[in-house]
């Protein structure tokens, strides 16, 4: 692997690690918002959910886009198959769908929600949290070691 590609892999690995640490804050906010569902007035819950969704829009969605457009194509190239990241891309779709459902829930909070709606909102928040947690763990246990391994192989080939 040429030096420029090896450096690109190293940069992607650092970005991925850094952004995952930043996501921990969002993950905590998802849990906190889920705990609020049913314990706050609809207006306050709507405000908390909107704030969370704005945070997700600024941090999570750009991260998923970066992985889809830059990180995963490099992974597929290194693995020499488009299947290397197929499951991770599916998880991105599931996370985006969960976020879209939360947007709909936020709109529904304009009216006084029923108990069922609050239970469903809480379940969806925990569902998005679980999807994101699982996804990040898979990346950290599979993708990051793969990037490290490829960087080390390239280094030994140059020596």
Burial class (CB in 10 A: 0-12, 13-18, 19+), 142: middle
What does the pLDDT read at residue 35?
94
Phi, psi of 40, rounded to the nearest 5 degrees: -125, 160
Local confidence pLDDT in tens for the 159 residues of the chain: 454 445 555 556 666 666 777 788 999 999 999 999 988 888 999 999 999 999 999 999 999 999 999 889 988 988 898 888 999 999 999 999 999 999 999 999 988 899 999 999 999 999 999 999 999 888 888 877 877 776 555 545 555
Separation between Cα atoms, residue 98 and residue 142, nearest integer Å:
24
User: Which one-letter DSSP state was computed for residue 82?
Assistant: G
Separation between Cα atoms, residue 136 and residue 84, nearest integer Å:
16
Residues 6+ apart with CB under 8 A from 94: 131
What does the pLDDT read at residue 1?
46
pTM: 0.82
Separation between Cα atoms, residue 1 and residue 144, nearest integer Å:
17
What does the pLDDT read at residue 143?
77
Q: For the range 80-88, what are the long-range contacts, defined as Cβ-Cβ under 8 Å and sequence gap of 24 or more?
A: 87/138, 88/135, 88/138, 88/139, 88/143
Separation between Cα atoms, residue 75 and residue 47, nearest integer Å:
39
């Amino acid at each position: 692997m040429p030096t420029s590609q090896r450096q690109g892999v190293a940069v992607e690995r650092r970005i991925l690690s850094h952004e995952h640490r930043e996501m921990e804050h969002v993950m905590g906010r998802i849990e906190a918002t889920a705990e609020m569902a049913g314990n706050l007035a609809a207006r306050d819950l709507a405000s908390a959910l909107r704030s969370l969704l704005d945070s997700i829009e600024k941090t999570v969605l750009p991260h998923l886009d970066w992985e889809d457009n830059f990180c995963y194509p490099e992974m597929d190239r290194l693995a020499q198959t488009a299947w290397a990241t197929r499951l991770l891309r599916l998880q991105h779709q599931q996370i985006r769908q969960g976020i879209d459902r939360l947007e709909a829930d936020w709109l529904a909070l304009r009216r006084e929600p029923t108990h069922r709606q609050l239970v469903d909102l809480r379940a969806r928040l925990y569902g998005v949290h679980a999807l994101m947690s699982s996804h990040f763990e898979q990346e950290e246990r599979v993708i990051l070691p793969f990037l490290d391994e490829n960087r080390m192989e390239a280094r030994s080939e140059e020596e």
